[in-house]
Amino acid sequence: MITFMLAIVFLIIGYLTYSKVVERIFGINDNDETPAYTRADGLDYVPMSWWKGSLIQLLNIAGLGPIFGAILGALYGPVAFIWIVVGCIFAGAVHDYFSGMLSLRHSGEQYPTLVGRYLGKTVRICINFISIILMILVAAAFTAGPAELIAQITPLNFMTAILIIFSYFLLAALLPVNKIIGRIYPFFGAVLIFMAVSVAIALLFTDRQIPNLTLANLHPGELPLWPLLMVTISCGAISGFHSTQSPIIARTLKKESDGRKVFYGAMIAEGVITLIWATAGMTFFGNTTGLQEALAAGGTAGVVNEISTTLLGTLGGVLAILGVIFLPITTGDTAIRSSRMMVIELLNNGFKKMKGINDKTLIMTATIIVTVPAFFLSLIDYAFLWRYVGWTNQVVATVMLWTGAMYLLKNNKPHWICSVPAMFMSAVVCMYIFYAPEGFNLNYNLALIIGSILTLTIIGWFIKQIITQRKDNEQASKVA
C-alpha cells in the first residue's frame, strides 16, 4: 500500500513542480491571441474554458487506455509503478504539453504538419500516413468491443451496433466541437475519474493486500520487461495517440497559460487513473498468475467488470458497462475527427485547386476517407488490430518528442526535457519491432543488438543537429 500511495503523491508533485519547469522552458505569453479567436470558424476553432478543455482532453486521450493497458501491464507486477510514474512525469506529460502548445503556436496545426516544420518534409510525409493509419486502427479497435457488449445486453445484433456507432462517429466528426464533444464529454470525463477514485477507495478498505514495490519481473508468461512493458502501458505513461488529439483542444484554448493545466494536467490525471487500475489488477486476484487466469477466462473487459462489481456492487456494474461501452466510443470518434483534420491538411492544396470543391465538401470527403476503412477493419479480430496499434502508437510518440527537442534546439532553449525521453523511447520502439511477434520476431538478444545500433544512429543524428545549430549561432553572433 505504501508504494501505491507514494506513487500517487509523486505524480501530484510532478504536476506541481516539473510542469512549471516545462512551461518556463517552453515560454508562454498570455498577451498573444490564441487560434480559438484568431481563426474562429464555429466548427473546430471555438473558445472553451480550461476546465472543460481539461475534461475533454482527458477523455480524448484516455478512453479505455488507462484501464485496459494498466491491467495488462499489471501482469509484470509492481515494477510497473515505476514506469507509470517516471514515464508520465518526464515523458508522457511533456509529450502532451509540446504537442498541444506547438499546435497552439502554429494556428492549431495537426501533428504531422508540426513534425514537418521541425524534422523536415520526408519525415512529415512518412508520419502523416503512419498517424492517419494509427487513427483508423484506434477507431476500429475501440469499436468492436462496445458493439459486442451492446449485442449481448440489448436486442441489437453486432452489425446493427457497429452501424449505430459509426453513424455517431460521422455526426460527431462533422458537427462543431462544442455541440457534442463540448457538451457531453466533460460528463464522461468525470465518470472516468469517479470510476477510478471509487475503485481506489474500495481497494484501500479491502482485506486484499496491495503489493509494494519489487524490481522483479513477475509476468507469468515470462515475457521480458524491456521493452514490452513500455508498449503495453502507453496511456498513463506516454502515448503517441495523445499528440493527435491535443490539437483538437489547442484550437479551443483561451490563453497560453491554460496549456499547462489542460495538456500536462490531463496526462497526470490519466497517470493516476492508470496507477489505480494497475494496482487493482495486481491486488484483486491475489497475484499476477491469478490475474492472467482471469484474463484468459473473461478477457480484459471481464476483468474490469469483475473488479468493479465486486468492489462497488451495483454502482460498479453500471460504471463498468458505461466504461466498456462509452469510453472506447469517445476515443473512436475523436480519432475519426483528428484523422479528418490530418487528411484535410494533407490534401487541402490539391482540393483547393479543383473547381467546385468548397470547405464543406472537403470536410465531408476527408471524413469518409477515414471512416470507411475504419468501419471494415472493425469487423475483423480485435486482438489482431491491437497488436499493431501498440508499436505504431509509440513510434508516433517518439517522433513527437524529437519534434519538441528540435523546436527547443532551434530556439536556443534547453532541449533535454524532450531529447532525453526521446532517446529512451527511440530505444523502446527500435528494439520492440525486432523482437515482437507482429514485428520481425527475432531472438531477444539479437533484437536488442539491432535496436541498440539503430538507437545510437538516431542519437548520432541529433548530436549532428546540435553541432549544426551551434555553428549557426556562432555565425549569427559574428554577423551581429
In a domain, 272, yes or no: yes
Our measurement of the distance from residue 278's CA atom to the centroid of its chain's CA atoms, rounded to an integer in Å, reads: 17
In a domain, 261, yes or no: yes
Return the C-alpha cell found at 176.
462543431
Structural domain total, the chain: 1
In a domain, 111, yes or no: yes
Q: Compute the distance between CA of residue 442 and CA of residue 452 in angstroms, rounded to an integer.
A: 14
What pLDDT sits at residue 61? 86
What pLDDT sits at residue 435? 96
In a domain, 357, yes or no: yes
What pLDDT sits at residue 97? 98
User: 360: domain CATH number?
Assistant: 1.20.1740.10
What pLDDT sits at residue 135? 87
Return the C-alpha cell found at 442.
527475432
- Whether this model's pTM surpasses 0.85: yes
In a domain, 413, yes or no: no
Do residues 148 and 162 touch, judged by C-beta distance below 8 A? Answer: no
SS (H, E, C) 170-198: HHHHHCCCCCCHHHHHHHHHHHHHHHHHH
In a domain, 197, yes or no: yes
Residue 127 has pLDDT above 60, yes or no: yes
What pLDDT sits at residue 273? 93
Do residues 395 and 455 touch, judged by C-beta distance below 8 A? Answer: no
Do residues 7 and 278 touch, judged by C-beta distance below 8 A? Answer: no
Q: Phi and psi for 207 in degrees, rounded to 5? A: -85, 0
Confidence grade of residue 348 (pLDDT, cut at 50, 70, 90): low
Tell me the pLDDT tens digit for each residue of 67-119.
888 999 999 999 999 999 999 999 999 999 999 999 999 999 989 999 999 99
What pLDDT sits at residue 78? 95
Query: Smallest Cα–Cα separation from 270: which of 245, 239, 247?
Result: 239
In a domain, 246, yes or no: yes
Residues 6 or more apart whose CB falls under 8 angstroms from that of 443 comprise none
| Structural domain boundaries, residue 212 | 2-391
Confidence grade of residue 382 (pLDDT, cut at 50, 70, 90): low
In a domain, 447, yes or no: no
Identity of the amino acid at 404: G
